[in-house]
């Protein structure tokens, strides 16, 4: 164990900052670690805020570590908002006027939700959903007298917000600029699958429709929106979910080099010595891999950033080398996972594409392959796949046939669930051939298992 007495201050106690702090402590007994957050004293899982709103959990359930964890691991928690950073004196200035010195500074301030200058975007009753404070605001905004709500922007937070409002039995109109739900990420079929499911939940999904203006009532609260199609929709709540961007306004116009986010290299170093940035607020000079963006705004990448930087801060610098991409989400009742590279669109002449959809329209599997038939990535909806197997398959460029041959092993659904993999294997074999035999139902599965 290396020992040091320097003071590492981390601004932000989200998954990136907390992972960094935890790994720092694991590797260095002596370093002094301070986590700064004005949002919440204790780390919580941001992705779980919706469940608090819907009564699935209490806020304390979203906290992955018990409160004594931090003291036990000597991670100091500073509950404060940072107003500015004095990079020359190596000191933080809090809104209270208080100061805190550091030897190394990690900026992990996450994101804020986008507003695109819509008229009326700051009216009471109009909000996004990112922070704990946003959740509390939303609870207040939807407590009473909301007869209709409009959500603007078709991404993951938008559909979460729609589900939250549906819990309150508030009818929702969901405005999506694109031709399909989340179709900058999802291919057409998957986007349509989710779109159908949104409508099945009685959410009024309006594709190719943008927000033009938000109108207020006499008391100055939101009363209606005007869409790009000129329609006026009366509503008492507007959710702004058109993406997020790095939360770094307090760092603009300083010596720190920023663009959309804080500019970092592959070691998460900024242009200033002893200052690093990780998570949603970091912007790489160069994308970490061909299929990755310069700003990574996903839980998993935040965690990897934090782990990698901690290693660099304690040992010899380690460049950020993410492995095979993966992600997941849940669209109302339909689970989604993705492994490797499946873009929203591709050149049919450059790739082989296999898509299977269950006749019920809620379960789907896509595998994208190169021209030699080697796997590049998969999307799976409505059933679960084993990360370990898909990671290995993509890393080792298995042929599509080999992936199919091992699909039963890759299946991660609970016991007795419908063996969709058999239909998938049969469909693949019919389309591409291959030297494998589709799996057979076991005796137990035939008697007790769910039907495909």
**Closest C-alpha to 299, from 12, 13, 16, 10:** 16
- Rounded to a whole number of angstroms, the minimum distance from the CB of residue 98 to another protein is 30
Residue the block writes with tokens 């299946």: 411
- Rounded to a whole number of angstroms, the minimum distance from the CB of residue 259 to another protein is 23
Q: Long-range contacts of range 72-77, CB-CB < 8 Å, 24 or more positions apart? A: 73/22, 73/25, 74/25, 74/32, 74/33, 75/21, 75/22, 75/25, 75/33, 75/34, 75/35, 76/32, 76/33, 76/34, 76/35, 77/13, 77/34, 77/35, 77/37, 77/41, 77/42
Query: Which H or E element spans position 307?
Result: helix 299-314
Q: Does 376 bind another protein (CB under 8 A)?
A: no
The Cα–Cα gap between 138 and 19 comes to 28
- Rounded to a whole number of angstroms, the minimum distance from the CB of residue 277 to another protein is 16
Closer Cβ to another protein, 204 or 213, answer by number? 204
Q: What are phi and psi of 349, to 5 degrees?
A: -85, -10
Among 117, 359, 414, 443, binds another protein (CB under 8 A): 414
Q: Does 412 bind another protein (CB under 8 A)?
A: yes
Q: Please list every residue from 84 through 123 that binds another protein, using CB under 8 A.
A: none
- Per CB under 8 A, the segment of 117-125, 275-283, 322-330, 341-349 that binds another protein is 322-330
Q: Does 319 bind another protein (CB under 8 A)?
A: yes
The Cα–Cα gap between 423 and 27 comes to 48
Closer Cβ to another protein, 307 or 423, answer by number? 307
Among 323, 396, 433, 435, binds another protein (CB under 8 A): 323
Closer Cβ to another protein, 302 or 401, answer by number? 302
Among 238, 256, 418, 424, binds another protein (CB under 8 A): 418
Q: Does 391 bind another protein (CB under 8 A)?
A: yes
Residues 6+ apart with CB under 8 A from 277: 106, 107, 108, 261, 262, 264, 268, 270
Closer Cβ to another protein, 96 or 450, answer by number? 450
Binding mask 351-370 for another protein (x = CB under 8 A): -----------x--------
Closer Cβ to another protein, 36 or 410, answer by number? 410
Residue the block writes with tokens 């200052």: 275
Binding mask 37-66 for another protein (x = CB under 8 A): --------x-xx--x--xxxxx--xxxx-x
Looking at the DSSP bridge assignments, the partners of residue 234 are 224
* Beta-carbon count within 10 A of 22 CB: 20
Residues 6+ apart with CB under 8 A from 143: none
Q: Does 308 bind another protein (CB under 8 A)?
A: yes
Residue the block writes with tokens 């789907």: 364
Closer Cβ to another protein, 417 or 432, answer by number? 417
**E strand intervals along 4-147:** 7-11, 32-36, 75-78, 82-86, 91-94, 99-101, 104-107, 111-113, 126-127
- Rounded to a whole number of angstroms, the minimum distance from the CB of residue 307 to another protein is 6
Query: Is 69 in a helix, a strand, or coil?
Result: helix
Query: Is 135 in a helix, a strand, or coil?
Result: helix
Among 9, 10, 15, 214, binds another protein (CB under 8 A): 15
Tokens linked to 259: 């663009």
Among 253, 347, 415, 443, binds another protein (CB under 8 A): 415
- Rounded to a whole number of angstroms, the minimum distance from the CB of residue 143 to another protein is 12
Binding site for another protein (CB under 8 A): 15, 23, 26-27, 45, 47-48, 51, 54-58, 61-64, 66, 167, 197, 200-201, 299-300, 303-304, 307-308, 311, 318-324, 326, 328-330, 332-333, 335, 337, 362, 384-388, 391, 412-418, 448-450
């Amino acid at each position: 164990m290396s020992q040091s007495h320097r003071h590492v201050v981390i601004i932000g106690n989200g998954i990136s900052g907390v992972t960094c702090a935890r790994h720092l402590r694991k590797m260095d007994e002596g370093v002094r670690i301070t986590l700064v957050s004005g949002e919440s004293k204790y780390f919580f899982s941001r992705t779980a805020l919706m469940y608090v709103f819907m009564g699935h959990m209490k806020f304390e359930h979203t906290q992955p570590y018990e409160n004594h964890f931090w003291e036990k691991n000597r991670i100091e928690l500073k509950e404060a908002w940072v107003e500015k950073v004095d990079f020359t004196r190596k000191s933080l200035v809090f809104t209270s006027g208080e100061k805190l010195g550091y030897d190394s500074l990690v900026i992990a301030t996450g994101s804020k939700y986008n507003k695109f200058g819509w008229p009326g975007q700051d009216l009471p009753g109009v909000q996004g959903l990112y922070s704990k404070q946003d959740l509390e605001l939303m609870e207040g905004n939807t407590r009473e007298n909301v007869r209709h709500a409009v959500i603007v922007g078709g991404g993951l937070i938008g559909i979460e917000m729609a589900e939250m409002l549906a819990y309150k039995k508030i009818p929702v109109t969901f405005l999506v600029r694109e031709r399909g739900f989340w179709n900058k990420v999802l291919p057409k079929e998957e986007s349509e699958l989710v779109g159908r499911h949104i409508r099945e939940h009685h959410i009024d999904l309006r594709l190719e429709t943008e927000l033009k203006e938000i109108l207020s009532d006499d008391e100055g609260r939101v009363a209606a929106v005007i869409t790009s199609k000129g329609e006026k929709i009366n509503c008492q709540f507007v959710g702004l979910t058109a993406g997020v961007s790095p939360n770094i306004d307090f760092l603009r116009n300083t010596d720190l080099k920023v663009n959309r986010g804080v500019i970092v290299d592959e070691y998460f170093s900024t242009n200033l010595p002893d200052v690093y940035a990780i998570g949603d607020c970091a912007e790489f000079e160069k994308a970490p891999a061909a299929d990755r963006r310069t700003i990574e705004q996903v839980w998993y990448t935040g965690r990897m950033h934090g782990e990698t930087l901690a290693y660099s801060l304690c040992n010899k610098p380690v460049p950020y080398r993410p492995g095979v991409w993966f992600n997941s989400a849940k669209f109302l009742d339909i689970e989604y996972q993705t492994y490797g590279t499946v873009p929203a669109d591709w050149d049919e002449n450059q790739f082989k594409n296999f898509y299977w959809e269950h006749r019920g329209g809620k379960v789907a599997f896509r595998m994208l392959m190169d021209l030699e038939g080697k796997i590049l990535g998969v999307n799976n909806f409505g059933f679960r796949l084993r990360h370990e197997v898909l990671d290995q398959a993509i890393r080792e460029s298995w042929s599509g046939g080999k992936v199919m041959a091992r699909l039963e092993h890759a299946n991660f659904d609970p016991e007795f669930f419908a063996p969709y993999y058999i239909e998938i294997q049969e469909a693949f074999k019919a389309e591409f051939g291959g030297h494998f035999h589709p799996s057979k139902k076991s005796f137990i599965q035939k008697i007790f298992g769910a039907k495909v």
